[in-house]
Structures are given as structure tokens and as C-alpha cells.
Structure 1
Amino acid sequence: MSVAQWGLAAQLAAYEPRGAVAEAAIGLDAQELQWIAEHPTVTVASAQYPLYLFKDEHGHWSGLNNDVLNRISAMTGLKFLHEETFSTDQLLERLESGAADISTTLAMSEERKEFLDFSHAFGVAGWVFVGRAGAPAVQSMQQLSKRVLVLPARHALEATIRRDYPSIELRSVKTYAEARALVESGEAYATIENETGAQLYPSGQLKVGDTVEGKWEADHLALRKGQPQLLSILNKALEAFPPAELRAIRLKWLDGIVPVQTPSTWQQITEWGCWSVFFASVFALLSLLWNRRLTVLIQQRRDAEKDLNDQLAFQHALIDAMPDPMFVRDLEGRLIMCNKSYEEGLSTRFDQIQGRRLIELDVLPKETAEQLHAEFMAQLGTRKTRFSERQLMFKDGVRDIYQWTVPFYSADGQLRGLLGGWTDLAKRRQGRRKAQCL
């Protein structure tokens, strides 16, 4: 089995050189080849969605969907250029306005098919309910009647839920992170997320429920309408995609996410019988085997510690890559962690402010520091999330910002502090104007 998995994974590196003739590889016609010659670069509106599409510790795009695009690029000669977005609503706006050509993380819906075309599917996953850990597991839409269901704006299931389940109180937010935070705080009863993504956010305050009956999210490439040649090129590439290679790519990213099935009773009896015979026949070597077992356990622990350190390093790099300032504070308001944007926004360094409260520093005007510290302490008392647009006085003057702060908990459900940050609205508006000009 190990050799077979290695063989599948090895196919990921066996991409054809860009010099190969695309027509011979996937049968492109003259119009499609002409379109590629006139449009060699395709702009991809990309929102980070772990395992499927995200930036690694070096700031490079990675994930299952990125591997699929790289393979299509090798087959067709097209070059895919990622343009980062930060919400589903913003991603859809880029496609509607023509600022981007395709996206890899949009689910198909009747509303989206009015202005988007979708390629052949290259994978499928279910939608699952995500609720609060202390409440009963959410098993159906009927269970949400007269309760708050929170979803990111323009979610693929939003129109269907509003039409078929009018008794559900539907609330829209910008991102899945905000949706999960509202469920954790109790302001919403549940949210709905891709089953793969839901398994990546273990928390003492959240619990994954059943799949949404009859609703599946197929993996498609979504294109803005009016690009028939590009749609045909992508479909031909997906049709010619070697099935073994596609399985290898999915195994590379999604292996281990699906819960392991419990062995049957007969399998358990057989396994224990084999072990009993084995230990009876090698009783004289028990001491040697025990020592070997201890060696294996020690090595496993070292490997686990290394994996944990790698994960922590990656998470720190991922936070530093965020364009907006972010911080983490403890129950006393002392700074535990922040990213590079936070340091730049307050013109300071982490080693100078670590473990200190805002009122002990000179990075903000005194009145602003006292106001924010008081708000943090009050929020820790109420344990409610906060998302608001406001004006705050900084050292360089008044800024219009979108501020968010969310309580976070330990694995056993104990309150540990606040996670927060802000977005400079003036810079965001300036970026949008610049994108429109382009």
C-alpha cells in the first residue's frame, strides 16, 4: 500500500513541459489555440480556504486547487495569476465586474449561474451543520426553525434556505471566521460549512453535526460569462486529466481529514486472536519487544513535537502574512501575540510591547488607549464578539476603521483572552479605486 501511494504521489511531479503541444495533449481546436495566444494569462479571484487554496509560509499560493491549476497550465500553456480576496462577496464582485476571469472555490447555485459558467466537476464534498458544543448536534434544517443561522454573505445555500425554510432567522456576515465566532458566543445557533473545512477548526466551543440532506458541493472552476473558449479549454483539460493523478492530488491534501471508520466486530476479534497467538509464540522475546516498543513510542513523541512546532511556525507565518493588523491579548489585557501589520500600524516592535497593556504603552493617544483597554475588559466580562465600523484617534490622526474582537477559549472551554484586529477603511477604498482603474 505504501508503494502504491508513493506511485500515485509521484505522478504529481510528472507534469508535461510547457513546450509540449497543447493541441496534441487535449485536442484544442484552432479557435481555442488562437484564444490562448491572445489571452496567455488568466486572472484568478482567490480567497484563502485551507487545504483547497491558501498561502504558505513563504507567501506562495498552495493547496489542492492550486495543484489542479498548475496541471491545467502544463497541459494548455495558460498562466494563472492569483488576485487575493477576503470574502465570498468580494470574490463575486471581482468576477461580476470583470476584474477577474475565474475562481476555484465557489459552489454552484442557481443564482450564481445567472452570471457565471461552471466547468466540469473534479471533486465533491458535503455541507455540514456546525453548532455550539454544549447544544444538541444539529441534524436537519427543521431543527433550526425560529433560530439564528449565520452564513457568509451570498452563500451558495442562502437563496434556497430563504425560499424553503422561511421560519429560519438567517443572518449574514462577511466571512466563515465571523460566522463561527457568533456560534461560539451563542449569538447564533449554527452555521453551515464544507465538511472538509469544518474538520480543520477544532474548538472546545464548536461541534460538527450532520450533513445537510440532499446538498453537496462539487468542486468546479467558476468563470464569468462571455468566455466560451476558456470554458471549453478548461473542460477539455479536466476531461484529459489522468484519474490516477487527480486521486493522487486529492490524497496529498485531503488524506486524514475524513474520520476513520471503526473496525467491525469480526475484524477486532481476528486482530486480537492474531496478537494472542503472536505473543504466545514469542514470549521468550517479550523483554526485547518491549524495549523496541518504547523506542518507537519515543520516536513518535519526537515526531509529534516536531509536527507541532512546524504547525506553530506555519500559523505564525500565516498571521504575519495577513495584510490587516491582528493581536492576541490575555485576560488582563496583556499582549500575547501580534503580526507585522500590527507593529507597522502602531510604529513599534513586538519585543517592546509583549506582555504589556495598552495603557502602559505610548503607541496610542492616552484617551484612545484607556478607551480600548476598558472595552477589552468589558468584552471579556460579557464574552460577546464585536464587529463595528468606527473612528479612532491614532498618533497620526483620526482613522476610519472596521474593528473586530473575538473571545477565544482553551480546548476545555475556559476563556483565555481576546483575538482582534482592524481594517483601515480608507486604504481599502483606495485599493478598490485602484483596482477599478486597472
Structure 2
Amino acid sequence: MRFFSGLKPALCWLFLLGCFGLSQWIEAAHLTKHSDALEAVQPIELNEHERQWIRDNPRVTVASVQYPLYLFQDEHGQWSGLNNDVLKHISAMTGLQFVHQESFSTDHMLERLQSGVADISTTLAMNDERKAFLEFSHAFGGAGWVFVGHSGEPAIRSLEMLAKRVLVLPARHALEDSIRRDYPSIEIRSVKTYAEARALVESGEAYATIENEIGAQLFPSGLLRVGGLVEGKWEADHLAVRKGLPELVSILNKALGAFSAAELRAMRLKWLDGVSPAPAPSFRARLIEWGCWGMGALGVLGLLSLLWNRRLATEIKQRREAEKGLGDQLAFQHALIDAMPDPVFVRDLQGRLIMCNRSYEDALSVRLEQVQGRMLFEFDALPQATALMLHDEFMAQLGTRKTRFSKRQLMFKSGPRQIYQWTVPFYSVDGKLRGLLGGWTDITERRKESGCRCLH
């Protein structure tokens, strides 16, 4: 006790410094989470003609295609992403109701807009072909285009490197017309989706594809490599509106013009922070950050040393209570997972199976006791190529620590199946990465019933 009494003045100073460091950290955290605490959205001022148009047309149909981080359906089938947040904000400003209508490729989405089935889209880039039948709103952000090639080939830095090679693009890609005009030696092959384009590059049937730089970073690299930016090509974020709706264009432009810089920054940070390249902090900024963290750590250590004895007894008591209820909790978790109708699995940091539910066992004709502790390609439940591809994706995702939701086609023992796949990194209570939680929903029959033969 005399020892601690002698340390009290120093520890008090450390505690005060720690509080200062923590206050700096809390302020920074507040900025990054600004999107969750935005002030109440104020309605924008519209003229009588625009207000009457909204009364006559309260629902606006959005042609929506899965475009991760910008616009996608989550595990509950709800539309989410940066562009959906923008639409929600506009809805609060104007009273318009945006109703998503899923499209399955860029070409499909453009057909719906041309035919009048849909009114707007949030993920279309502007080009001359599209301006013939679409109006584009003010820009509210943007990103560059990047080359995506095979990992076994040199990184692609320019369109000149694609001369006399196959470039695969989704049909009616925003850059297709300009590339055909300016680089006639490039052989362009059209497919329906970006997923098909990446698959052809992986197989070697095409040399490269071109994607938005944000989207290109979301998928495990595997056999693919992201190259340089397409020089002089920028994909601005617009709302595309079919022609014949000038009032809607005017309303959307007024709403976008009313967005504050802080609101747009908060929305982009919420979805794109950590994906798009960020500039390196200056040496001075790093010194300030290290100083704040150092003072915070010293303050916390000083406080912990003063309270150690008292907290130790409390911690032991809480640990015993937690251990007492752990058995029931684990039993409940097993019962809950087994009750899920879709296959669910848990894998560790090496891709070894930790646990799965009964639906997973039935889908792959295995039993947990036979495959527990083994990697996907170490047992004969899937074709070897599929198992190796999925294992590589799992390991890449553990490296990026990003969640993933995608509709795709996978080859099972019984043949190709259309599935909605999801994988989410999970962490221990102390914040350490422990592995992946994932599963899938078989939507093959749903696709057959709806008559859709699109591949994702």
C-alpha cells in the first residue's frame, strides 16, 4: 500500500494524459461514424409543378443489379449499400418512394429502362449510347476503371497492352463503344455479367476485363490480378433517369444539391472505407496519432494498476458465472444452427471445418465427425476444382476480413447449382479473428420457376 501511495501523483498525471488521448480517439471515431448520427433530414424546397408530380407519381421504380458495396441484397433479401443509402436520404427529403426491381445484367437493366418498365438506375456510368435514351443527374461521387488480368501475366497498365488480345466485357459496358472506336485491334468479347468476365480471364479464354476500382478489390484475387487505372476514364456516380421524366430529374438534382459534404463523406466512409486506396498519413499526423495512443495506453495502465486488486475479485466471480452458463449456451447454439434450413458452416483460420449444421451434412452427403478438422478439398464432397476454388476464396477473405454476399453458379457432385452464398469473418470476445461463418441458399429451382437462365 505504501508503494502505491508513493505512485499516486504520477499515476494521476498518467490518468489525465490518458483521458486526453482517449478524447482524441473518441473524436476521430465520431467522425467515422457520422452516418449513424446524422441530424434529422430537412425536406427540400420544390415548386408546385414538382410537388404535383410527386403526388401523381409517388413510387419510382429502380432497375437494380447486384453491385457489391454500391447496391446489393443482404442475407435477408433487403437492398443495401451506398446507393441505397443515397436513395433513402432523397426519399426523406422529397417523399418519393423508391421500389427496387432486380435486374440480372447491365444489358437487362438497360432494356428495362428503354422499355419504360423501370424509371431510374443508380449504377450506370454515362456514355453516348446511354445518353440517347437516359438523362443523368448531378454526380455524387465516382471511381476509376481498372484492368483485371490473369495473375500469371504481367500487370496491365494501358489499353495499348491489349492489342490483338481478347478483352471480355459485360454487354453494353460503358467503355465498349469508345474502345472499339479508338482501339480497333483489341478483340472485344461480350458476356452477361462481371462474374462471367472474371471467370473467362481466370480460365485463360480472355486476357483481361475492366471493372470499377472499388468492385475489383472486393473479390478474392485467386488467379486474377488488378492492374492499373484506365487512363482518362472516370466513372462518376449518377442517377440515370429514362427520358420523358424531366420533373423527376429536376427533383433528384435538387435533392443531390442539398446533400452536405459531411453527409456524402459519411455515407462513402460507411461503405467504401478500407476498400478504395487512401493517401498515406503525413509524418506529423503519425506522430500525433502515436502520441495520443501512447498517452491513452499509459493512462489506462495507470488506472488498471490502481484498481487491479478490486477488479481481480470481480473478474473471478464473473468468470465462474460465465463458465456455469457456457454449457447451456453452447447447447442452444447447436440447436439453433441445426434448425436452420440452409447449409451453415464454420471454418478456422486455416480453412479447417469446425462445425456445420444438418443441412450442410445433407447437402454434401457427409457427417460432421467424418470431416471435422479437415479442409474442403481434403474430402470428396465437391468436385476437386470447386473445392480448391472455394478454399482459396476462404483464405483470401480471411486476409481481407471483408464480408461477402453473392449469387453465383457452383459445380456440385450432382451438377451445377445456382446459389446465394454468404461468408462472414467472426471474432473472439477479445477482437481476434477466429475464422469464417458461412452458408448458402440453393436458388436453382427458384431460377427455373422464374424462367431466368442468367449466370451470376
**How high is the TM-score relative to the length of structure 1?**
0.63
* Residue 3 of structure 1, aligned match among 8, 15, 27: 27
**Secondary structure of 1:75's match?**
helix
1:193-232 counterparts in 2 under 5 A? 193-232=211-250
Q: CA deviation at 1:14?
A: 3.5
Q: CA deviation at 1:90?
A: 0.9
CA deviation profile, 1:331-374 (whole Å, cap 9, x unmatched): xxxxx9xxxxxxxxxxx964324246xxxxxxxxxxxxxxxx9x
Which whole-Å CA distance do the structure 2 matches of 1:4 and 1:32 have between them?
Answer: 40
Q: Does 1:44 align with 2:58?
A: no
Q: Does 1:116 align with 2:134?
A: yes
Sequence identity of aligned pairs in percent? 59
* Residue 75 of structure 1, aligned match among 58, 69, 93: 93
Which whole-Å CA distance do the structure 2 matches of 1:226 and 1:15 have between them?
Answer: 34
**Secondary structure of 1:246's match?**
helix
Which whole-Å CA distance do the structure 2 matches of 1:83 and 1:165 have between them?
Answer: 36
Q: CA deviation at 1:260?
A: 4.7
Which whole-Å CA distance do the structure 1 matches of 2:245 and 2:46 have between them?
Answer: 15
* Residue 162 of structure 1, aligned match among 173, 180, 184: 180
* Residue 158 of structure 2, aligned match among 118, 123, 140: 140
Which whole-Å CA distance do the structure 2 matches of 1:252 and 1:87 have between them?
Answer: 26
Which whole-Å CA distance do the structure 2 matches of 1:377 and 1:110 have between them?
Answer: 45
* Residue 354 of structure 1, aligned match among 364, 379, 384: 364
Q: Does 1:34 align with 2:44?
A: no
Which whole-Å CA distance do the structure 1 matches of 2:48 and 2:242 have between them?
Answer: 22
Q: Contact 2:32/2:270 (CA < 8 Å) preserved in 1?
A: no
Which whole-Å CA distance do the structure 2 matches of 1:430 and 1:144 have between them?
Answer: 33
**Secondary structure of 2:92's match?**
helix
Map of 1:384 onto structure 2: none
Which whole-Å CA distance do the structure 2 matches of 1:378 and 1:133 have between them?
Answer: 18
Q: CA deviation at 1:270?
A: 7.3
Q: CA deviation at 1:86?
A: 1.3
Which whole-Å CA distance do the structure 2 matches of 1:27 and 1:128 have between them?
Answer: 39
Map of 1:410 onto structure 2: none
Map of 2:334 onto structure 1: none
Q: Are residues 423 and 159 of structure 1, via their aligned partners in 2, closer, same or farther at CA, if it must alter by over 3 Å? A: farther
Q: CA deviation at 1:427?
A: 3.5
Q: Are residues 269 and 88 of structure 1, via their aligned partners in 2, closer, same or farther at CA, if it must alter by over 3 Å? A: closer
Greater RCO (Cα-Cα under 8 Å, separation 6 or more):
2
Which whole-Å CA distance do the structure 2 matches of 1:205 and 1:38 have between them?
Answer: 52
Unmatched runs of 5 consecutive residues or more in structure 2 = 1-23, 306-336, 344-352, 367-379, 389-413, 420-439
Q: Are residues 71 and 161 of structure 1, via their aligned partners in 2, closer, same or farther at CA, if it must alter by over 3 Å? A: same
Which whole-Å CA distance do the structure 1 matches of 2:194 and 2:453 have between them?
Answer: 23
Q: CA deviation at 1:55?
A: 1.2
CA deviation profile, 1:172-200 (whole Å, cap 9, x unmatched): 11111111111111111111000000111
Which whole-Å CA distance do the structure 2 matches of 1:26 and 1:269 have between them?
Answer: 41
Q: Are residues 112 and 352 of structure 1, via their aligned partners in 2, closer, same or farther at CA, if it must alter by over 3 Å? A: same
Q: Are residues 53 and 44 of structure 1, via their aligned partners in 2, closer, same or farther at CA, if it must alter by over 3 Å? A: same
Q: Contact 2:138/2:238 (CA < 8 Å) preserved in 1?
A: yes
CA deviation profile, 1:214-259 (whole Å, cap 9, x unmatched): 0000000001100000000000000011211111111111111123
Which whole-Å CA distance do the structure 2 matches of 1:119 and 1:186 have between them?
Answer: 39
CA deviation profile, 1:26-79 (whole Å, cap 9, x unmatched): 221111000000011111111111111111222211111011000000000001
Which whole-Å CA distance do the structure 2 matches of 1:10 and 1:130 have between them?
Answer: 34
Q: CA deviation at 1:261?
A: 4.5
Residue type at the aligned position of 1:352: D
Q: Are residues 5 and 231 of structure 1, via their aligned partners in 2, closer, same or farther at CA, if it must alter by over 3 Å? A: farther
Residue type at the aligned position of 1:40: P
Map of 1:58 onto structure 2: 76
Which whole-Å CA distance do the structure 1 matches of 2:209 and 2:135 have between them?
Answer: 27
Matched positions, count: 325
Residue type at the aligned position of 1:354: L
1:322-361 counterparts in 2 under 5 A? 350-355=360-365
Q: CA deviation at 1:16?
A: 3.9
**Secondary structure of 1:26's match?**
coil
**Secondary structure of 2:123's match?**
coil
Map of 1:152 onto structure 2: 170
Q: CA deviation at 1:5?
A: 4.7
Unmatched runs of 5 consecutive residues or more in structure 1 = 289-315, 327-335, 337-347, 357-372, 382-393, 395-400, 406-418, 433-438
Q: Are residues 96 and 13 of structure 1, via their aligned partners in 2, closer, same or farther at CA, if it must alter by over 3 Å? A: farther
Q: Contact 1:12/1:245 (CA < 8 Å) preserved in 2?
A: no
Map of 2:409 onto structure 1: none
Residue type at the aligned position of 1:235: N
Residue type at the aligned position of 2:133: F
Which whole-Å CA distance do the structure 1 matches of 2:136 and 2:52 have between them?
Answer: 22
